[in-house]
Amino acid sequence: MRQKLVVGNWKMHGNAADNRQLLQSLVAGYPSVGDVSVAVCVPFPYLAQVQSLLAATPVAWGAQNLSEHAQGAYTGEVSAAMLGDFGCRYVIVGHSERRALYGETDRLVAAKFVAAKAAGLVPILCVGETLAQRESGDTARVVAGQLDAVLDLAGVAAFAGAVVAYEPVWAIGTGRTASPVQAQEVHAAIRVRIADRDAWVAAGMQLLYGGSVKAQNAGEIFAQADIDGGLVGGASLVADEFLAICQAANR
């Protein structure tokens, strides 16, 4: 039985005062969540604040991006080891916004995944198709390609203890969610693709769904056989809504 996991992706939101309130509410409400792992991935400048407010709590934290390099002349970049210095457990890799807006290729995403693993972080690898790709029947091929790029560079063993998030691009921040059946279909295909290389790794991997998850739709999505929780953007900025989503993962 895989542990359920719900991760909040704050994106470029927050300020020190609001973060404090949100984190305090999360920690206060955490006992209501039950047997679910919970984490928040926050902008780099808030890692120290999050570390100090969450260190003594069961809520984990992480970042939303990292450099593929370990160190050097890469102005503006942040290495995996630096994230480790701030107690990060997780780092999101290959979010569709980074792929679409910052030109991150499958190859670069794979290099970031490797860098995260090398530093002992848990990469949350995001994969997913655009609306045009879905409508032209290309979902399986696109997702398999994104996955294979990382499997080929990192090796399947690196997926043990990693997390994959299926996030259809057309569902992110749009209020449009994949149906539970659509989501399960892609999650199952992801697990099979990994199982083709290593059945044990595939069976233990946490696969998350992301894309307009709300308290109202989370239960049905998380009940699918290959969906082990969620990566939650907008709804993770409202403590009660996020806690309700985490509770939905506990059923």
246 binds ligand PEP (CB under 6 A): no
229 binds ligand PEP (CB under 6 A): no
* Stretch of 29-37, 144-152, 185-193, 226-234 lying at the interface with ligand PEP (CB under 6 A): 226-234
Q: What is the DSSP letter of 161?
A: T
The residue behind tokens 């690898």 is 125
Task: Specify the DSSP element, H or E, that contains 35.
Answer: none
The closest residue (CB) to ligand PEP is 233
Looking at the Cβ atoms of 156 and 213, the one nearer to ligand PEP is 213
146 binds ligand PEP (CB under 6 A): no
Active site residue 95: yes
Active site residue 167: yes
How many other CB atoms are there within 10 angstroms of residue 181's CB atom?
A: 9
* Residues in 171-190 that interact with ligand PEP by CB under 6 A: 172-173
Cβ partners under 8 Å of residue 241, min gap 6: 214, 215, 235
Distance in Å, CB of 231 to ligand PEP, minimum? 5
Quick check: 8 and 245 in contact, CB under 8 A?
Answer: no
Backbone torsion region of residue 7, taken as left when φ is above 0, otherwise alpha when ψ lies between -120 and 50, otherwise beta? beta
63 binds ligand PEP (CB under 6 A): no
Task: Compute CA distances 132 → 170, 210, 213, whole Å.
Answer: 9, 18, 21
With CB under 6 A as the contact rule, the residue among 167, 226, 228, 241 that binds ligand PEP is 167
Q: Identify the active-site residue in 97, 167, 187, 241.
A: 167
Residues that bind ligand PEP (CB under 6 A): 9, 11, 167, 172-173, 210-213, 231-235
Q: Which of the residues are catalytic?
A: 95, 167
